[in-house]
């Protein structure tokens, strides 16, 4: 499973908007890898930000 897929699955499992720090705690992934995955997921419109600095999977 790629880092992007892991990040997206972690976000879905959380069931609420999460920050990169929360994804790091839940998944155990490296923060730099999470930030890179967030950037790629944002470009693909796979995640949205309902509030500042929090992200959730796009509906």
Read off the CATH number of the domain in which 15 is found.
1.10.10.10
What confidence score (pLDDT) does residue 32 get?
97
What confidence score (pLDDT) does residue 59 get?
83
What confidence score (pLDDT) does residue 55 get?
97
DSSP-assigned beta bridge partners for residue 47: 57
Q: How far apart, in whole angstroms, are the C-alpha atoms of residue 25 and residue 43?
A: 24
At 2-55, the pLDDT tens digits run: 999 999 999 999 999 999 999 999 999 999 999 999 999 999 999 999 999 999
Domain that holds residue 11: 3-57
- Distance in Å from the first CA to the final CA of the chain: 22
Residue spans of alpha helices (H) in 1-59: 3-14, 20-27, 31-43
Q: In the numeric block, which tokens belong to residue 27?
A: 């998944």
Q: Total structural domains in the chain?
A: 1
């Amino acid at each position: 499973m790629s880092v992007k897929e892991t990040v997206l699955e972690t976000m879905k499992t959380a069931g609420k908007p999460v920050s990169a720090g929360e994804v790091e705690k839940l998944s155990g992934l490296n923060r730099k890898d999470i930030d890179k995955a967030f950037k790629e997921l944002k470009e693909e419109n796979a995640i949205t930000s309902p509030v500042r600095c929090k992200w959730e999977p796009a509906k």
